Amino acid sequence: MLTRSNEMHEMKMVGLQASYNNLTEERDQLQTSFNNLTEERDQLQTSFNNLTEERDQLQNNYNQLVTALTNERNDLQRKVEDTEASLKDLTNEKEVLKSILKDFGWVYFRGSFYYVSSTKRTWDQSRDDCLQKGADLMIINGKEEQDFANRFQKYMWIGLTDSQREGTWKWVDGTLLTKSYWASGEPNGGTQENCGDIKKYDAEKSWNDESCSHSLYWVCEKKLLCDSSLSGLTAVDTRVQKSSLRAAAVILGLLCLLLLTGLITLVVMLTRSNEMHEMKMVGLQASYNNLTEERDQLQTSYNQLVEDTEASLKDLTNEKEVLKSILKDFGWVYFRGSFYYVSSTNKTWQQSRDDCLQKGADLMIINSKEEQDFANQFKKYMWIGLTDSQTEATWKWVDGTLLTKSYWASKEPNGGTQENCGDIKKYDAEKSWNDEDCSHSLYWVCEKKLPQ
C-alpha cells in the first residue's frame, strides 16, 4: 500500500511540476508580449510626438512664409505704384515740352520735330537757318514721311542736292538717295538745277529740282536720339505555489489585455491623428505651393514691369533732355519747373508782354530768392511781369497775384504815377528791381511754367 501511495504521490508531483512548468512558460510569454506591447506603445507615442512637433513646425514655417510673402507682395506693389507715378510724370512732362515746341511752330512726327518757315530763302540760306536751330533740312525716308511733308501744302526746300556731282543726289547727312518721289519728268534741270524741293504737293510724287539760288519756303527736321513623442512590471517569484502561479498568470493576462486595449485605442487615435495630420499637411503643402507660385508669378511680372518701365523711363528721360536741348537752341533756359527766354532786342513793357504771350508764355514772375538770383544771372536791364498800373503803389504780377516778397533796389520804387512797370536794373546786387516808365524800351524775360 505504501508503495502504491508513493507511486501515486510521485505521479501527482510529476503532473503538478508539468503544470507549474507550463504556467511558468505561459507567464514568461505573457511577460514578453507585455514588454513588446509596451515598447511598441512607446514607439508609437514617440512617433506621435514627432509628428505633432513636425506639424507645429510646418505650421510655423507656413505662417512665416505667408507673412513674408504678404510683405514682399506689398513692397512690390508699392514699387510698381511709385514707378507708374514716375512714368506718368515723365509722360506728362514730355507732352508739355512737345506742346511748347508746337507753340514755336515745330510739329512732332515719328521721332522727329519739323519746322516750316513763313518766309522764303535760297537753299543754302534755308539750310543755314535749320542748322542754327540745331536741325537740318528735311530728309524723307519713306512714304509716310513723304505724305506728312505734302500735308504742309507748301512749295519748299528739302535736304536734297546733287551739287557735288551732277546726277548723284544725296541728302544733307551725306547718304545717297535710294527711294525717291520725283514728279513726272523730274529731275530735268541738269547742272542748272541742283537742289530738291517739294512742288506738286497735291500728288504723292511731288519732288522737283530747282536752281539753288531760287527763294522758297523750307522745312527743317530735328531727330530725337532715343528711340523686379507602462512602466515595467515586477517579475513573479518562480518559487510560488500553483495557485499563486495561476493567479499571477490571470492577473498578468488581464494586465496584458488592458495594455492591449489601451494600445489598440492609442493606435486608433494615432491613425486618426496621422490621417488628420496628413490631410492638414496636404492642405498646408497645397497652400504653400500656391503661395510660392503666386510669389514667383508676381516676381516675374514685377521683373518684366521693372524692365519695361526702366526702358520707358530711359526713353522718356532722353526725349525730355533732347526737347530741353532743342528749346535751349531757341534761347530758352530751364530752371525749377519753368522755361525762360531773354530777348535780344528792346521793346516797351506791353510790347514785351505781347511777345511772351505769342510764345505761349508771359513776363517772368519771381517767387523766391533762388529765382531772383537766377534772373540776375542774365546780366540784363530787362522787364519782368510786375506793374502797379491799375492802382498806384499796389504792385501785382501779370497773373493777378499781389506782390508779397520783393527785391527792390535801395530807394525803389520811386517813380510814382510816372513809372508803373517793374524791371531788373542793378543785376549785380541781390536787390535789383526798379520801377520804370512803361513806354521805355528794354530787354525782357519770358517765363513758361510746366504744369505740376
The DSSP-derived string for 3-26 is HHHHHHHHHHHHHHHHHHHHHHHH
* Global confidence as pTM: 0.47
Find the range with the poorest average confidence among 32-41, 139-148, 216-225. Answer: 32-41
- What percent of the chain is predicted at pLDDT more than 70? 77
Residues 6 or more apart whose Cβ sits within 8 Å of residue 424: 375, 376, 378, 380, 381, 382, 384, 432, 433, 434, 445
SS3 411: coil
Mean pLDDT score of the chain: 82
Determine the Cα–Cα distance for residues 280 and 228; give it in Å rounded to an integer: 34
- Higher-scoring residue by pLDDT: 238, 84: 84
Mean pLDDT of 198-224: 94
pLDDT grade for 266, boundaries at 50, 70 and 90: low
pLDDT score recorded for residue 229: 39
Residue 321 lies in a domain: no
Signed CA dihedral, 284, 285, 290, 296: sign only: positive
319 inside domain: no
Residue 60, C-alpha cell as written in the block: 510655423
User: CA-to-CA distance for 254 and 260, rounded, in angstroms?
Assistant: 10
**447 DSSP β-pair partners:** 340, 362
Q: Which of 10-19, 133-142, 260-269, 354-363 has the lowest mean pLDDT?
A: 260-269
Structural domains counted in the chain: 3
What does the alpha-carbon distance between residue 330 and residue 133 come to, in Å, rounded to a whole number?
7
To 5 degrees, how large is the angle CA 106–CA 112–CA 117?
A: 35
Q: Which domain holds residue 270?
A: 2-89+241-301
Residues 82 and 187 in one domain: no
Are residues 442 and 338 part of one domain?
A: yes
DSSP H/E element including 448: strand 443-449
Q: What is the DSSP letter of 390?
A: S
Residue 238 has pLDDT above 50, yes or no: no
Query: Is 316 inside any structural domain?
Result: no
Q: Is the pLDDT of residue 418 over 70?
A: yes
The grid coordinates listed for 145 are: 514721311
Give tens-digit pLDDT for 83-99. 777 777 667 666 766 66
> Do 247 and 218 share a structural domain?
no
pLDDT in tens, 368-412: 999 999 999 999 999 999 999 999 999 999 999 999 999 999 999
User: Tell me, what's the pLDDT at 237?
Assistant: 42
Residue 87 makes CB contacts below 8 A (sequence gap 6+) with: 309, 312, 313, 316
Compare 62 and 207 and report the one with higher pLDDT.
207
